Amino acid sequence: MTTTETTDRIIRLAREVGSTATTHAGAMRYMVARPVPRAPIPDAEGMYAVQQRRCDTDIADWDGENARDAVRRQHWSTRMEARAASQCRERGLWTLEDALAETRERDIPIQRAISRAIAGRTSYRRSRSCWVGGEHRTWVFLAHDGHGHCSGESQRVWHRRHHWSGTDSSHSFYITRRTLHTLGVDRIVIGGLVTLDYSQPDATGVARARWAVQSTGVSLRTETGYIVRGRYHVVWRGQDTPAARRRALREYAQSVQRRRAAATQRHVAERLAHGDADGFAGLVVRRDDSIAAGNCGSGTDSWIAAHLPGRREATVQEILATGDRRPEVLRAVMVAIRRAQHESVTQTA
């Protein structure tokens, strides 16, 4: 096709759609501004629509049939269960629902007793909201042996009229039945912690146990370990071996010694605070004892210059005679007492 024939064809096509151009450039500008519409394909579109409607109908029929079958099966299962329960009751037999209902009714007084035993004896965090919320609830459930656990959560609440918010908290304890049989309700709380699972202790008094400890916020987590002689917790996540039980006993003995030493120190500190130096009057307190007690060197020198000038050491009786009962002075005296006790033990050994 030559150039002239092509130009004539373009002008003719432009005139068919309403153009009055007589040149090639005018016909092209008209066709670009107003493109020629294409004819639709009714057969293909109609065929697709028919197929889509058929697929939708098939899916609807299939889902409806499945739903009807599920309803029939559920209805039949309910009728059979009701019929079996009725026959059991006629023959004087218990159904599973009756047994579970009686178990729940029997557990309610136990759960309430445990809740009363827990209240006021634990130090777990709870909601402290004042204006809105601030309520706390404790839920107690009885679990199977070896499955004791706990949880804690908080829920945001809003004021009925104003846009004020607060939080309510709740703690859930799942306590095993063998814990109740072994410890009893009154001994569920050991050291301020709720015991969730407690096995039978061995001859040394060490028992494998699980208890609830504080986590972030008001939430709780379950800790696993040993409870020694019903009073001390030892965290242990490994296997239950004789070595682990011996380690628990050693930690318990060390804790007992620390508690006794702390009680003795508190007693001595109270006596010194009241000026009673019986048994320690001749004990020498050095300047190094004050430094070891956490006092600074310049402060120690200032105290010596004000009360005992020119001295590097003094007896407990002389220090108490100054009348200064401040904590930093008593701490220096306590360090000297502990040093003397340690030296006496070393010499005896």
Amino acid at position 88, single letter:
C
**Ramachandran assignment for 125, one of left (phi > 0), alpha (psi -120 to 50 degrees), beta (any other):** beta
How many domains in the chain? 4
Q: Are both 59 and 134 inside the same structural domain?
A: no
Residue 101, domain member (yes or no):
no
Query: How many Cβ atoms sit within 10 Å of the Cβ of residue 139?
Result: 13
At 93, the pLDDT band (50, 70, 90 cuts) reads low
pLDDT band at 169 (very low <50, low <70, confident <90, very high): very high
Do 232 and 263 fall within a single domain? no
Residues 235 and 177 in one domain: yes
Whether residues 132 and 191 share a domain: the answer is: yes
- What is the distance between the alpha carbons of residues 289 and 303, in angstroms, rounded to a whole number? 14
| 336 shares a domain with 262 | yes
State which residues form the domain around 9: 3-33
Looking at the domain assignment, is residue 82 inside a domain? yes
266 shares its domain with 187: no
Check residue 43 and give its pLDDT: 44
- 3-class secondary structure for 90-129? HCCCCCHHHHHHHHHHHHHHHHHHHHHHHCCCCCCCCCCC
- Does residue 246 fall inside a structural domain? no
**CA–CA distance, 165 with 157 (Å, rounded to integer):** 6
Q: What confidence tier does 38 reach under pLDDT thresholds 50, 70, 90?
A: very low
- Helix, strand, coil fractions of the chain, as percent rounded to 5: 50, 20, 30
Written as six digits, the tokens of 107 are 């557990």
pTM of structure: 0.54
- Residue 144 has a pLDDT of 82
Residues 176 and 280 in one domain: no
Domain assignment present for residue 9? The answer is: yes
Give how far the C-alpha of residue 163 lies from the chain's centroid of Cα atoms, to the nearest Å.
29
Lowest mean pLDDT among 35-44, 169-178, 191-200, 274-283: 35-44
Regarding whether 84 and 180 lie in a shared domain, the answer is no
Same domain, 127 and 230: yes
Flag whether pLDDT at 2 surpasses 80: no
